[in-house]
Amino acid sequence: MENNLVVQSNELILATYTMQKTDKELMLACISQIDSRPDAPEVTKQTEFKVSVDDIKSLFFGKKSKNEQNVYRDMENASKRLYDVDIVMSLPENKILQTRLISSIVYDPDNGEVSLSFAEKILPYLTQLRANFTKYKLLEIGELSSIHSIRLYELVVMWVNQFQYSKDFTLEEFKHAMNVKGKYKQFGHLRQFVIETAINDINENTNYSVSVEYQKKSRGKGFRGLKLSFHKKTLDKLTGADGALSQAAIQSIVDSVQFMNDYNDHPSLSYDGKMQTDAFKREMINIIQREPESFNKPNKGLESYLPKIKH
């Protein structure tokens, strides 16, 4: 299970709901068992997804020892909370969907397992997905320590897949995105328990780097918003002093004739990108940021072009 992909529609990534970290872990352990490809077998509200104590321990506890009875107790409690979770999702044409997440639960304390079935209305956002979805390996969130860390990680992966590498928020917009609207009325608490905790957690335990810049109010004391910048750690050598990517550095790489010669056959390039210089440069800026690990020809990694870059 640890190598299974978690695949969710972007509508579900952006949906509003409240759950604890153990609830989210159990939810993702079930989602990772779904084959989300368009031609995959049909999943219905009767389809059960089984998660065992051993699954949870191997995925989310690492080397930490935890009593099996306690793990099962936590799984059972998380299942009960998931059964009560409301998902509120924005749909096209200004419509809003409100649905339960889970339709049924089977408890099996003798074997240390629970089996969950997803509600019918949520299945289109987990199965037979053709576009506008976000995916990552379940193992990638195994070391994250809070629900806020997991939430921000999913958003960062989604944004990078959409060719966005920074986001500006008012404080209220950020709270809404993080599903903490109405909470953390003091900025210091929001900063300490949500923003800094999630960013430090992601930076320490995942393959992404996130930095934050706080935006002060134009008058008086306090802050009105924040800007998040993020990239894959493979690009750390292309970051500035603020931790954000240096756009000048990336531009220098794509302007390099040698780089163009080396990677004109990159599989993510379109036909126009392979045939036209301007299209190559335009597309490569996004490809570098989205999938820097794909530049893996011997002695031709992105860092090999850095000596020519002026920061």
Dump pLDDT digits (tens) for 37-88.
898 999 999 999 999 999 999 888 765 567 788 999 999 999 999 999 999 9
Query: Of 165, 220, 212, 177, which is closest to residue 191 (Cα–Cα)?
Result: 212
Average pLDDT of 161-169?
Answer: 93
Average pLDDT of 208-223?
Answer: 90
Domains of the chain: 5-142 (1.10.10.10), 151-233 (1.10.10.10), 246-308 (no CATH)
Are the CB atoms for 118 and 45 separated by under 8 Å? yes
- How far is CA 65 from each of CA 62, 113, 144, 204, rounded to the nearest angstrom? 8, 18, 17, 21
Average pLDDT of 243-255?
Answer: 86
Decide: residue 284, CB within 10 A, 0-12 exposed, 13-18 middle, 19+ buried.
buried
Q: What is the pLDDT of residue 62?
A: 61
* pTM, two decimal places: 0.87
- Give the mean pLDDT of the chain: 91
Dump pLDDT digits (tens) for 48-62.
999 999 999 988 876
